[in-house]
Amino acid sequence: MTIFGPAVDRPDGLTYAVVLTRADRDAVVAALTAERFSGWVGPAEDGWVVAVPEAPLGHVAARRQHVEDLTVTLAAALAGPVVTVLVTRDELMELWAWDGPQELVAYVSDPAKADPDDETAMWSGPRGAHAAPALAALSGRPDAADDVRELLGEELGESEQESERLMALARLLGWPEWLVAVDSLPRRVPGGPDASAFLRLRVGRTGPAGVLAARAARVVRRDA
């Protein structure tokens, strides 16, 4: 039996990441600019500001930071809650949550897919579901803790996708439900803000300067 609810109407196998912060948008933009982030920053919505990395599986900011690393950096810079969700090919969901310097959640929906070389992983279900109360409290929905624990602890059926789990989680925790459609950027996000509402950052810069900085960064990476 599943508690995911209605299926998400989307192609199979999509990969995307979202970074949710509970801070003033200007402060979020300033922190991401300082870290030379590449991606988009959405408008404030119900207390959340969402950043969407351009390359979810690659380096998303300075010092070769991946999304997990950026979670820690942003939480420290903003001195507040940051939650990052990475969905890979719609078959693996990883989630990290920090509140300032404190790590609260490190979740992996399918350890075997996250680390195929770990022979013990294939026998274990989702890891980190026990931290559901901390995630619910961080999101201002402490009463949802039991439902969140059940959702995170459930193993996917063959016909289910991780985007369905994220959609259900967003509903429980009051996150924007359009998170599961951010792969459509730079086009309009279905069910979400217009594309023009997102600030585009390339290596922490906007406009033509950002385009040139991104090109220069790619050259440096190729030569490294």
Q: Which domain holds residue 167?
A: 16-223
Give a yes or no: residue 118 inside a domain.
Answer: yes
Indicate the average pLDDT of the chain: 88
Tokens (6 digits) for 78: 């903003």
Domain count, the chain: 1
Percent of the chain scoring above 70 in pLDDT: 83
pTM over 0.75, yes/no: yes
In a domain, 9, yes or no: no
Banded model confidence at residue 222, pLDDT cuts 50, 70, 90: very low
Per-residue pLDDT tens digits for 46-77: 999 999 999 999 999 999 999 999 999 999 99
Task: Give me 165's structure tokens.
Answer: 């789990």
Q: Is the pLDDT of residue 217 over 90?
A: no
Tokens describing residue 39: 């991606």
Q: Is residue 7 part of a domain?
A: no
- At a CB cut-off of 8 Å and minimum separation 6, what does 156 contact? 91, 109, 110, 162, 165
Residue 143 in this model has a pLDDT that exceeds 80: yes
**What is the spatial distance between Cα 51 and Cα 149, in angstroms, rounded to a whole number?**
25
Based on the number of CB atoms within 10 Å of its own CB, is 79 exposed (0-12), middle (13-18) or buried (19 or more)? exposed
Residue 78 forms part of a structural domain: yes
Q: Is residue 3 part of a domain?
A: no
Burial of 132 (0-12, 13-18, 19+ CB in 10 A): buried
Which segments within the chain are labelled E, that is strand? 16-21, 39-41, 49-53, 81-88, 92-99, 102-108, 199-201
* Closest CA relative to residue 178, chosen from 166, 195, 190, 163: 190
- 2 belongs to a structural domain: no
- Report, as an integer, the average pLDDT of 108-115: 89
Q: Is 87 contained in some domain?
A: yes
What the block records as the tokens of 3 is 């508690």
**CB-based contacts of 149: which residues, under 8 Å, 6+ apart?**
129, 130, 132, 133
Whole-number pLDDT of residue 212? 40
Of residues 210 and 84, the one with the higher pLDDT is 84
In this prediction, residue 198 carries a pLDDT of: 98
Residue 208 confidence class, pLDDT cut points 50, 70, 90: very low
Domain assignment present for 6: no
pLDDT, residue 11, reads 52
